[in-house]
Amino acid sequence: MSSNFPLSHERLEDLARQFPTPFYIYDEAAIRENMAQFSEAFKIFPKFTEHFAVKACPNPYILKILADCGCGADCSSLPELMLCEVSGITGEKIIFTSNETPAAEFVFAFEHGAIINLDDITHIDFLRDSLGGKFPELICFRYNPGPLKEGNAIIGKPEEAKYGLTREQIFEAYKKARDYGAKRFGLHTMVASNELNPEYFVDTAKILFELAIELKKNLGIKIEFLDLGGGIGIPYRPEQKKVPLDCVAKKIRALYDEMIVPAGLDGLEIKWECGRPITGPYGWLVTRTIHEKNIYRNYIGVDASMADLMRPGMYGAYHEVTVSGKEAAEKNRVYDIVGSLCENCDKFAVQRELPKIDIGDLLVIHDAGAHGRAMGFNYNGKLRCGEILLRPDGSFKEIRRRETVEDYFATLDLDGVKNFK
């Protein structure tokens, strides 16, 4: 568990009277403080930008807070680009790292001045055709190092991943983009997800540094930014440790001085497009116990389901669970904490040691601020929960209302079906 829940039991009960459970709550002060630390670690580079991965927490209030902290955004779809627009994140503050991209999305990204990051060599022509023969002045390519780099469980081995260009293709791609009129260039890679080993990111930087140097030597192409992608993990489990970002930054800076400066590439900007470490530890799913059943195992049934938070069901991911008001109580029970979906994987915790839970108890599911509400879905007719922001002054703001039955039916023609035979 990587961050403490900010509300006392009494305040949480008050809040749950005002906004019935389940709901997400985010701690604005903690997000700001964390972002300040992130930026502090990387300000040792001549230029540094964190482009928050919108998919992790696509709420415009959160995006506005992050923009105020100096962040840009990383988008991969038209609605994400539009969310940035309403949140005041514009132009090159946006990197459009998409894959299997429809033409209309490239057009929107180009017209709004976003940095376009191409996922394949064939997308060079696809992009130019989409833009009616125009080509962006600034272009970036996503590199897939293949067997040069080991991946991890969520993203898989790079050579089995669908993303990016091979080493051979990369050189051809920059040449072709330059022939089409590109004058400014970036280089991107993302080969891991939820990785906690700091050395992993130093290695990734080294691979990109080597490639940037080769691109200059072989093609005379001067890369102006390196985007190290996302993938910085958070300590979901109590025994895990936060990635020491200041240490990662210093080690990357040492390599930068050793490799980038002598190669005449000084001034190169370092970018990240992290989502998880930015908001993950500062968002919680709050749900109330509505049933208890004792069969071969003891089950606690709650009013949230996998439709609100799918990580445990989808990847068997661990999320710390605490019982509000019983934080100090002895953990002398073993429960499966389950939601109401007709899928047996709808379990927030499996065989978890917890204090005795009573019906009506509020449970707090930790580290849900990234890839939480965002991954929600409507299977089984489940209505997704809302989101609340705890402001630095201690007040609450509802930043997304809960879904209603009307939302669920909005894409159906209910009058039409009455006359349908």
Ligand X SMILES: *Cc1c(COP(=O)(O)O)cnc(C)c1O
Contact residues toward ligand X (CB under 6 A) are: 53, 55-56, 74, 97, 190, 193-194, 229-232, 273-276, 370
In the complex, what is the shortest distance from the CB of residue 289 to ligand X, in angstroms, rounded to a whole number? 30
Do β-strands 347-354 and 386-390 pair in parallel, antiparallel, or remain unpaired?
unpaired
For residue 273 the two structure tokens come to: 């497009």
Contact 245, 37 (CB under 8 A): yes
Choose between 151 and 339: whose C-beta lies nearer to ligand X: 151
Choose between 9 and 55: whose C-beta lies nearer to ligand X: 55
Contact 236, 2 (CB under 8 A): yes
Tokens 């299977």, residue located = 379
In the complex, what is the shortest distance from the CB of residue 390 to ligand X, in angstroms, rounded to a whole number? 22
**Which residue spans within 54-209 are E strands per DSSP?**
72-75, 94-97, 115-118, 138-142, 184-188
CA Rg, the chain, in Å?
A: 23
In the complex, what is the shortest distance from the CB of residue 95 to ligand X, in angstroms, rounded to a whole number? 9
Task: Quickly list H helices, 19-102.
Answer: 28-42, 60-68, 78-87
The residue with its CB nearest to ligand X is: 230
In the complex, what is the shortest distance from the CB of residue 49 to ligand X, in angstroms, rounded to a whole number? 13
Query: Exposure of 41 by Cβ count < 10 A (0-12 exposed, 13-18 middle, 19+ buried)?
Result: middle
In the complex, what is the shortest distance from the CB of residue 105 to ligand X, in angstroms, rounded to a whole number? 15
Choose between 194 and 324: whose C-beta lies nearer to ligand X: 194
Choose between 7 and 116: whose C-beta lies nearer to ligand X: 116
Task: Quickly list H helices, 220-310.
Answer: 245-255, 276-279
Residue 342 among the catalytic residues? yes
In the complex, what is the shortest distance from the CB of residue 404 to ligand X, in angstroms, rounded to a whole number? 29
Contact 337, 312 (CB under 8 A): no
Choose between 223 and 274: whose C-beta lies nearer to ligand X: 274
The residue from 140, 247, 342, 385 that is catalytic is 342
Query: Exposure of 382 by Cβ count < 10 A (0-12 exposed, 13-18 middle, 19+ buried)?
Result: buried
Choose between 53 and 116: whose C-beta lies nearer to ligand X: 53
Distance (Å, whole) CA 242 – CA 16 = 31
The β-bridge partners of 400 are 387
3-state SS, residue 48: strand
* Residues labelled as active-site residues: 342
